[in-house]
Amino acid sequence: MFTIRRDGTARNCEGLTRRDMLQVGTLGLGGLTLSNLLSLDAQAATGKSILKDRSIVMLNLQGGPTHIETFDPKMTAPAEYRAMFGEVKTTLPGVTFGRHFERLAKHAQNMSIVRSFRHGNSSHGTAAALVAAGGNPSGANMGSTYARVAGLNNPETGMPTCAVVPPGAVGDKYRKLGAQIGRITDVGDLPKSYAPFDPSAGSDIVRNMELKISETRLDDRRGLLSELDSLKRKVDSTDALGGTDEFQRQAFDVILGGLGDAFDLKKEDPRIIAEYDTRKIDIPKSLYKKKNKNLANQSPVSLGHQMLMARKMVEAGCRFVTVTSAGWDMHGNAFGVDDGMPILGTAVDVAASAFLTDLQRLGLSEKVLLIITGEFGRTPRINKKGGRDHWGNLCTLAFAGGGLPMGQVIGHSDRTASVPASDPVTTRQLLATVMHYMLDIGELRLSSAVPSDILRTLTTGEPIPQLV
């Protein structure tokens, strides 16, 4: 247990008490070096910023969401293909969503729905990694690739640049809920230090994030940083701590930077918390006792609060947040479309629409882009178990807000929602869209600070043309 405190010369008449101490557990000190306080935009050849003042929240529907029951109901298809629960009208003339997305349908004018996203991979692990990486040949997920350019921490707030918010991030009682984090956080050829920051990875760290220290007792911040940097160099030279990982270092930055509130939902207005709340949208015990006892772990009860935490994190300077929602593998042996969509679809509808409404309230709609996707879609024909199987030939993809062109449908599927019929969209286009949104690609080309392979990956792809 490390304890950092002010020098004895800084004592006041009260003397040194426990409130003068910042207990940081076993966290490392490496995150507080000068390099982590500098932004790459200062290295642009023209003096202009490479980084745009924008953030992305990616809602990852794990297991492969059915593209038909979400945003392409295809009610003109034969009964065994069309959306099982029917459709709901949106605010866009002639455009409908699946029946369980009534709230999001009211945001359709601020959304761009892609009905022609295809990558052809129908295997959970590799498809999830492929979409998370945006087809990046290095294998690194998009958030980590962005962090390689932007730096590991926001230079102004200290908030980690890239993060993942699984159920356990919003409470210990949700830790057992499903979250295939490893599939979507691979750093590929990048150093492990670029892995997304996970607030749920360790109860000690979560507790430490809640500690506070007053501004008056930490007024000499620069002096403290200098002392810590000196200590870090000594520790590195002697390996006195036995080594630390970058997650621990980032966590320490979060604590010292006073960013604990971003991870504390109790600090939020109760009325806002209620708008996000999905705790009552649960899987009936009768269902998982009948089908699969592990089905309880796919519950979306935490999803609303995960999305609220994502909003708080981007508001505090995080630039790429991935939120996980499990249970979308709707074959029919555990969940089917028949019993899964009323639960998981409704939870996404509540959480995502609350998120978009909240961004509007805060004036952040132009600066935060929501992306909804998963590893692949589901087979066009409903199977005998009331479900749909793996299908990589057409996948769910939707964008909302961010100041991009919205209120449109991009591409179309064929008669049975099996394959793209127009304007096919690839994973590389997804990657290019994300990076053009987050970075000034022209300025990036002039930078000498980015490795040539990363530079080539980020500057050669073409974004989805309708979103430029």
Helices (H), 214-302: 221-238, 246-256, 270-276, 285-290
Q: What is the DSSP letter of 96?
A: E
φ, ψ of residue 151 to 5 degrees: the values are: 100, 160
Of residues 279 and 24, more confidence is placed in 279
Residue 314 has pLDDT above 70, yes or no: yes
d(CA 144, CA 456): 16
Residue bearing tokens 């932004």: 39
Strands (E), 340-447: 368-374, 377-378, 390-391, 395-401, 408-410, 412-413, 420-422
Higher pLDDT, residue 439 or 47: 439
Going along the chain from its start, the domains and CATH numbers come out as 1-32+213-257 (no CATH), 40-203+262-467 (3.40.720)
Looking at residue 351, what is its pLDDT?
Answer: 98
Among 193, 122, 119, residue whose Cα is nearest residue 151: 193
As a whole-number percent, the residues of the chain with pLDDT over 70 amount to: 77
> What pTM, to 2 d.p., does this model score?
0.84
pLDDT category of residue 341 using cuts at 50, 70 and 90: very high
Q: Which residues have CB under 8 Å from 68's CB, separation 6+? A: 74, 81, 82, 83, 98, 377, 378, 380, 388, 417
Model confidence at 325: pLDDT above 80: yes
pLDDT at 232 over 90: no
**Is residue 154 predicted with pLDDT exceeding 50?**
yes
**What pLDDT, in 10s, does the model give residues 41-85?**
434 444 578 999 999 999 999 999 999 999 999 999 999 999 999
* pLDDT for res 247: 59
pLDDT of residue 31: 37
**Lowest-confidence pick of 199-203, 209-213, 292-296:** 209-213
Give the pLDDT confidence score for residue 26 in this predicted structure.
29
Residues 6 or more apart from 137 whose CB is under 8 A from it? 457
